[in-house]
């Protein structure tokens, strides 16, 4: 039996609990101010027959609920009232906990035991707007969450199996899309007014078609190219914008796959008609060839060749197409190869660039007498100087014929040999200006600073004559080089 002090402590806390929460419906095992008030309340119910009349009267006075079932009812109903006040309805999701209480289970059980409820309890629930039909309740709950979903995401396109606020909203939407015949006229109208998508396949087709229309307006064709596609979902471009912006336009990344699917799909007559009107390309290879060959013709008219070399202003799609044709020559038809040949198409770009560079080097030697092309930032021969430098560093990649051609031109492979040629060229210029090769003597004439590096080279050549090649010695002798200075 409980001691008087323990009972008084529990009763005092029960009074405080009611003052705070408005009832004596303390949940089982609930703590209040650190005291096991839930257990204390359960003991009073269980041992009512052992309580004194005074205690029973005091408990009755504060509204104590003696029946366990009645207590559970009161607690569940109180929380359902609070739930409606917060959410505006009694559509508590199954297994939903509210303030730590299994309110979803409580609501579901009221529906199952309606015939066991008192008339007063049924009236209370009816006045609160309780839905007795489980199917109707689930419908209302699903529709309420679909309204919230649209408000948050802007549409009713809920992904399959998507959960929204612990509710299988994706499954609910899928269900009513296929079972719309089971809806009441009012339910159908509610979904329709909300913008519900009844035919998802048709909706997706129209959405993709609109993207293809936007692509055509931007690019002028329906040849959706994956190189232009980024990972942004929407196309954001107006009809007035020009094709010059094609390289920076961001396209729906799924459009490329959709267009490929169209070529294989079993489409309706109406769909085919609309696509044809838009300029849909069904045989991609044939149409792609015609488009890019025309671009190549235009390129040659503007630039004079078919190289389409890479730069900031290059038509990058055309450059990729040209590169691809070189690699895939064996896959082209004889007619296509003939068309490209007649246009002056370059099949072996590396060989072409070699011949162009070598021809320029020959012309340079004819004009200047050597192959010492010096690379300067603003020089008129900077492209040739780069070619010479690249050729020298890639000698192991040249053919024997190419190496022989360069050797016959007295090409300097060794950088040290190149430096010798540059210095020799300066010495020849010095002699043309002063009439002799005695560069050291220019010190007395005030020319030392201008020819300082040449003075050092001449001095080094005299001291290292035994290291020179016979050809170098002969060339120096031919210009009157003085080997010994007195």
Cβ partners under 8 Å of residue 310, min gap 6? 316, 319
- The CA distance from 477 to 156, in Å, is 94
Whether 273 and 291 map to the same domain: the answer is no
pLDDT of residue 476: 92
Within 10 Å of residue 217's Cβ, how many Cβ atoms? 14
pLDDT score recorded for residue 336: 85
pLDDT class of 226 with cuts at 50, 70, 90? low
> Residue 159 carries which DSSP code?
P
Q: C-alpha distances in angstroms, 203 versus 144, 157, 187, 263, 269?
A: 23, 10, 21, 19, 17
pLDDT at 232: 37
The CA R_g of the chain, rounded to the nearest whole Å, is 47
Task: Kindly tell me if the per-residue pLDDT of 139 is higher than 90.
Answer: no
Q: Does 377 lie in the same domain as 331?
A: no
Q: Are residues 365 and 379 in the same domain?
A: yes
Same domain for 27 and 55, yes or no, is yes
In a domain, 178, yes or no: no
Tens of pLDDT along 92-131? 877 788 888 888 888 888 888 888 888 888 898 889 888 7
Averaged pLDDT for residues 194-217: 88
Q: Are 455 and 439 in contact (CB under 8 A)?
A: yes
How confident is residue 379, by pLDDT bands cut at 50, 70 and 90? low
Higher pLDDT, residue 200 or 446: 200
Domains: count for the chain: 5
The answer to whether 440 touches 459, Cβ cutoff 8 Å, is yes
Residue predicted with more confidence, 75 or 145: 145
Alpha helices of 25-133 — where are they, by DSSP H?
37-46, 53-61, 68-87, 103-112, 119-128
Q: Clarify whether residues 353 and 339 are in a common domain.
A: no
| pLDDT above 70 coverage of the chain, percent | 87
Q: Is residue 100 part of a domain?
A: no
Measured CA to CA, the distance from residue 419 to residue 136 in angstroms comes to 95
Contacts of 47 (CB under 8 A, 6+ apart): none
Cβ atoms 458, 440 nearer than 8 A: yes
Residues 271 and 294 in one domain: no
Closest CA to 320 of 387, 225, 255: 225
Residue position matching structure tokens 């329906």: 222
State whether 212 and 260 are in the same domain: yes
**CA 10/CA 58 separation, integer angstroms:** 12
The number of C-alpha atoms within 13 Å of 178 and in the hemisphere containing its C-beta is 6
Maximum average pLDDT range among 69-83, 124-138, 149-163, 218-232: 149-163
Highest mean pLDDT among 68-72, 215-219, 243-247: 215-219
Residue 106 CA to residue 76 CA, distance in Å, equals 7
pLDDT tens digits, one per residue of 273-329: 999 899 887 766 777 788 889 999 999 998 888 888 877 777 888 888 898 888 878
Q: Please say whether the dihedral angle defined by the alpha carbons of residues 289, 294, 300 and 303, taken in this order, is positive or negative.
A: negative
Q: Which of 66, 81, 110 is the last residue of a domain?
A: 66
Domain limit, last residue, from 388, 413, 438: 413
Q: Are residues 336 and 371 in the same domain?
A: no
Q: Which residue range(s) make up the domain with 206?
A: 201-278
| Mean pLDDT of all residues belonging to the chain | 81
The residue from 293, 323, 343 where one domain ends is 343
Asked whether residue 205 falls in the same domain as residue 274, the answer is: yes
Counting Cβ atoms within 10 Å, is residue 358 exposed (0-12), middle (13-18) or buried (19+)? middle
Place of tokens 């199954």: 94
- Residue for token pair 């051609």: 405
Output the pLDDT for position 478: 92
- In 10 A of CB 73, how many CB atoms? 19
Q: What is the pLDDT of residue 151?
A: 93
Q: What pLDDT does 230 receive?
A: 47
Q: 274 and 290: one domain?
A: no
- pLDDT for position 191: 92
Q: Is residue 150 part of a domain?
A: no
pLDDT surpasses 50 at 15: yes
pLDDT exceeding 90 applies to what percent of the chain?
Answer: 13
Do both 273 and 296 map to the same domain? no
pLDDT, one tens digit per residue, over 75-99 is: 888 889 998 898 888 888 777 888 8
In a domain, residue 181? The reply is: no
Q: What pLDDT, in 10s, does the model give residues 436-450?
A: 888 865 555 554 456
């Amino acid at each position: 039996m409980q001691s008087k002090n323990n009972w008084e402590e529990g009763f005092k806390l029960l009074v405080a609990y009611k003052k705070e929460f408005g009832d004596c419906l303390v949940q089982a095992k609930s703590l209040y101010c650190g005291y096991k008030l839930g257990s204390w309340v359960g003991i009073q119910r269980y041992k009512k027959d052992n309580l004194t009349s005074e205690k029973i009267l005091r408990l009755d006075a504060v509204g104590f609920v003696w029946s366990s079932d009645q207590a559970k009812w009161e607690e569940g109903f109180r929380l359902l009232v609070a739930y409606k006040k917060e959410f505006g309805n009694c559509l508590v999701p199954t297994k939903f906990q509210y303030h730590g209480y299994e309110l979803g289970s409580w609501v579901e059980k009221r529906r199952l035991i309606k015939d066991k409820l008192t008339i007063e309890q049924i009236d209370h629930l009816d006045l609160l707007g309780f839905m007795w039909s489980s199917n109707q309740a689930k419908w209302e709950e699903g529709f309420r969450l679909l309204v919230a979903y649209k408000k948050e995401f802007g549409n009713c396109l809920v992904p399959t199996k998507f959960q929204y606020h612990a509710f299988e909203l994706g499954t609910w939407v899928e269900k009513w899309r296929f079972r719309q015949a089971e809806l009441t006229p009012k339910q159908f109208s509610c979904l329709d007014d909300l913008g519900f998508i009844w035919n998802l396949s048709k909706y997706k087709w129209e959405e993709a078609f609109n993207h293809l229309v936007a692509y055509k307006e931007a690019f002028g064709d329906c040849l959706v190219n994956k190189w232009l596609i980024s990972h942004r979902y929407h196309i954001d471009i107006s009809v007035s914008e020009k094709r010059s912006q094609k390289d920076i336009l961001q396209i729906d990344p799924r459009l490329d796959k959709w267009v490929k699917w169209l070529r294989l799909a079993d489409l309706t007559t109406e769909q085919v008609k609309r696509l044809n009107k838009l300029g849909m390309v069904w045989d991609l290879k044939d149409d792609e060839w015609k488009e890019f060959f025309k671009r190549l013709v235009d390129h040659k008219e503007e630039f004079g060749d078919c190289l389409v070399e890479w730069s900031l202003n290059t038509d990058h799609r055309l450059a990729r197409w040209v590169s691809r044709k070189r690699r895939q020559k064996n896959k082209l038809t004889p007619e296509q190869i003939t068309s490209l040949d007649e246009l002056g198409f370059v099949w072996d770009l590396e060989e072409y660039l070699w011949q162009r560079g070598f021809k320029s080097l020959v012309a340079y030697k004819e004009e200047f007498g050597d192959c010492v092309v010096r690379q300067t930032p603003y020089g008129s021969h900077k492209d040739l100087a780069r070619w010479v430098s690249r050729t020298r560093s890639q000698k192991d990649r040249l053919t024997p014929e190419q190496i022989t051609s360069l050797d016959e031109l007295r090409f300097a492979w060794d950088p040290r040999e190149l430096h010798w040629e540059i210095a020799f060229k300066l010495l020849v210029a010095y002699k043309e200006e002063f009439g002799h090769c005695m560069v050291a003597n220019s010190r007395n004439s005030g020319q030392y600073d201008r020819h300082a590096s040449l003075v050092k080279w001449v001095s080094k050549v005299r001291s290292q004559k035994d290291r020179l090649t016979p050809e170098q010695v002969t060339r120096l002798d031919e210009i009157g080089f003085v080997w010994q200075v007195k």
